[in-house]
Amino acid sequence: MTQVAHAFTGVSPAIVRLGKLAPLGRAEIEALEAEVANSFRLPGRAELLHEGRAVGRARLMLSGWAARVRYLEDGRRQIMSFVLPGELIGHCTQAQAVAVSTVTALDEVVACAAPAPGSHAALDAAYAVGQAREEAYLLAQIVRLGRMNAEERITGLLLELLHRLDEAGLVRDGGFDAPLTQEMLADVTGLTPVHVNRTLQVLRRRGDIEWKSHRVRIADPDALAERIGFVARRVTAE
Amino acid sequence: MTQVAHAFTGVSPAIVRLGKLAPLGRAEIEALEAEVANSFRLPGRAELLHEGRAVGRARLMLSGWAARVRYLEDGRRQIMSFVLPGELIGHCTQAQAVAVSTVTALDEVVACAAPAPGSHAALDAAYAVGQAREEAYLLAQIVRLGRMNAEERITGLLLELLHRLDEAGLVRDGGFDAPLTQEMLADVTGLTPVHVNRTLQVLRRRGDIEWKSHRVRIADPDALAERIGFVARRVTAE
DNA sequence: CGGCCATTTGAAGGAAGTCAAGCGTAGTGG
DNA sequence: CCACTACGCTTGACTTCCTTCAAATGGCCG
């Protein structure tokens, strides 16, 4: 973990996203920036949290993607969810907490300590909303895996990612950068890499998506959402 | 919702289970019993929470089973998780919270208001642990649906239920009562009722489980857990 | 007894998995 | 500059697990 300094522009997407969960005041932004100044960088494959080990202080993802993963004894791997810029790792209200899942960096990740809860009410609100969202993402993932076919799983996931990244301002020209290989996509959708490949081809030929060298574009998100019945869930009344 | 009174013996499993999450003192037990005295009864199929609607006060399941469900437009149904006696419904730290899933009673359910957080430290600790467990259950469900075959999904789920019910003292002779039809089991495991039926037959013939008229017995839980690689996750250091 | 619901069974089809090989491209080192 | 490697993507042939459709059986209760 190397200490590095960042210009505000480099890290702002994360704070932008956090601020959308609950409106942050001047004090909260300052508390965040103080932590951002001490952000650290992790290479791909590094572990941010290890299942069964004590959860230290919560961390805030500033850039890069991480994944909550679990391995079966015979090597099967399941990615349970992604952690994107502006999202928290290891946030919990429990004292003696132990990580329930390993969190692995998928590419180079920049993160910082999350300001401790209890000091800023607005930040606590954002944490609470963030936690509720995380739960909603897990539920959506369960529905994808339990009741959707390969096409629906992939498009549903991509639409969710589009929404989440959009909130962090990480969507440009209707597309986003994703550090995902087809194998990772298989591990998150519960499919095999081969089948993911074939399904992507169908989606590409049909003009639904473009996916080239880690850049994903969805032609018509609303139409696609309509077609597969995707809904972005609210976790809070306005 | 009819108001009914309960003898302590009728409701204790729930409190027993809650007390296992964090040691409760005399004051907490009394606060719980005060709420239990106003418990209410809901028939099967009743909704305890409706997706998209405001979450009122959290409730504590005293007896019966509930399920968090989601329907797709074409009628496909997915049960995302079960809520068992001693577990909370609608607990969240957010102010303007909105339910992220509908919760439906699977059979007759008795529940009461959960004592509000903030008044008893030990109870808050139990809530926090309960929430962490709930997350762990969702993650386990994701792994089952994403990377396990029919046999593993069913046995894995049954082992989890055995553990959870055992903590509430609801396991007798190595078995428990489950208000589940094979159709519900299909909806939770992401399979079809027909395939659940065939898989259960295999498990029965092999002597792994008995399942007759809502009574489930697992012959050798430890051996079965070993075989499919089931692990009950800790969420807290001892 | 008759109706209803859950379970069971059979036969056939399909979505996704497995195995194995062939590409393309980027990085490395002689 | 060109092997040589490594990794990710692509393709083909074949298999399997699970689904679908449809009908039969069994238990429970009015």
Average pLDDT over residues B181-189: 98
Interface test with A, best of B147, B152, B191 (most A CBs within 10 A): B147
Bigger pLDDT: B238 or A95? A95
CB-based contact (8 Å) between B234 and chain A?
Answer: yes
pLDDT at A209 (0 to 100): 97
**Does the distance separating the beta carbons of B233 and A70 come in below 8 Å?**
no
Residues linked to residue B61 through DSSP beta bridges, in sequence order: B111
pLDDT in tens, A101-122: 999 999 999 999 999 998 899 9
Given a cut of 80, whether residue B236 has pLDDT beyond it is: yes
Burial class (CB in 10 A: 0-12, 13-18, 19+), B197: middle
C-beta within 7 A of nucleic chain D, residues 177-196 of A: 181-183, 193-194
Å from A194 (CA) to D3 (C1')? Answer: 30
Å from A104 (CA) to D4 (C1')? Answer: 31
A128 contacts on B by Cβ (under 8 Å) = 92-95
What's the whole-model pTM score? 0.95
Query: Which nucleotide, over all strands, has the C1' atom closest to the CA of A76?
Result: C17
pLDDT at B93 (0 to 100): 86
pLDDT at A37 (0 to 100): 92
B70 contacts on A by Cβ (under 8 Å) = 139, 143
Selected residues 113-132 of chain A with any CB under 8 Å from a CB in chain B? 124-125, 128-129, 131-132
Residue with tokens 């572990």: A47
Q: How confident is the model at residue B11 (pLDDT cuts 50, 70, 90)?
A: low
**Does the distance separating the beta carbons of B129 and A233 come in below 8 Å?**
no
* Any strand D atom closer than 7 Å to B191 CB: yes
pLDDT at B96 (0 to 100): 87
**Does the distance separating the beta carbons of A100 and B132 come in below 8 Å?**
yes
**Mode of pairing for the β-strands spanning A47-49 and A102-105:** antiparallel
Looking at every residue in chain A, the average pLDDT score rounds to: 93
Selected residues 36-65 of chain A with any CB under 8 Å from a CB in chain B? 51-52, 54
**Contact (Cβ atoms closer than 8 angstroms) between residue A112 and residue A62:** yes
Given a cut of 90, whether residue B10 has pLDDT beyond it is: no
Q: From the list A125, A139, A141, which residue is nearest B95 (CB)?
A: A125
pLDDT in tens, B102-117: 999 999 999 999 999 9
B95 contacts on A by Cβ (under 8 Å) = 125, 128
Share of chain B above pLDDT 70, in %: 95
Q: What distances in angstroms separate CA B234 from CA A99, B121, B134, B148, B238, one per listed residue?
A: 8, 21, 12, 21, 9
Given a cut of 60, whether residue A3 has pLDDT beyond it is: no
Exposure letters B217-226 (e unless 16+ CB within 10 A, then b): bbeebeebbe
Å from B185 (CA) to D26 (C1')? Answer: 20
Q: DSSP of B1-21, one letter per residue?
A: -EE----HHHHHHHHHHHHHH
Query: Which nucleotide, over all strands, has the C1' atom closest to the CA of A184?
Result: D8
Compute the distance between CA of residue B86 and CA of residue B84 in angstroms, rounded to an integer. Answer: 6
- B172: distance to nearest CA of chain A, Å? 29
Average pLDDT over residues B175-190: 97
End-to-end CA distance of chain A: 39
pLDDT at B2 (0 to 100): 39
Q: From the list A78, A142, A235, which residue is nearest B97 (CB)?
A: A235
Bigger pLDDT: B23 or A3? B23
Compute the distance between CA of residue A111 and CA of residue A14 in angstroms, rounded to an integer. Answer: 10
pLDDT in tens, B32-87: 999 999 999 999 999 999 999 999 899 999 999 999 999 999 999 999 999 999 99
Given a cut of 90, whether residue B95 has pLDDT beyond it is: no
**Does the distance separating the beta carbons of A131 and B72 come in below 8 Å?**
no
Q: From the list A97, A141, A142, which residue is nearest B236 (CB)?
A: A97
Compute the distance between CA of residue B136 and CA of residue A12 in angstroms, rounded to an integer. Answer: 31
**Does the distance separating the beta carbons of A236 and B98 come in below 8 Å?**
yes
pLDDT at B237 (0 to 100): 86
Interface test with A, best of B71, B142, B228, B235 (most A CBs within 10 A): B142
How many CB atoms are located within 10 Å of the residue B2 CB?
Answer: 7
* Any strand C atom closer than 7 Å to B194 CB: yes
pLDDT in tens, A36-72: 999 999 999 999 999 999 999 999 999 999 999 999 9
CB-based contact (8 Å) between A7 and chain B?
Answer: no
pLDDT at B213 (0 to 100): 85
Residues linked to residue B210 through DSSP beta bridges, in sequence order: B217
**Does the distance separating the beta carbons of A189 and B234 come in below 8 Å?**
no
* Any strand C atom closer than 7 Å to A194 CB: yes
pLDDT at A193 (0 to 100): 98
Average pLDDT over residues B199-220: 96
Given a cut of 90, whether residue A177 has pLDDT beyond it is: yes
User: Strand C: which bases are under 7 Å from protein Cβ?
Assistant: 5-11, 15-20
Classified as helix, coil or strand, A63 is strand
Å from A106 (CA) to D1 (C1')? Answer: 34
The rounded Cα B223 to chain-centroid distance in angstroms is: 23
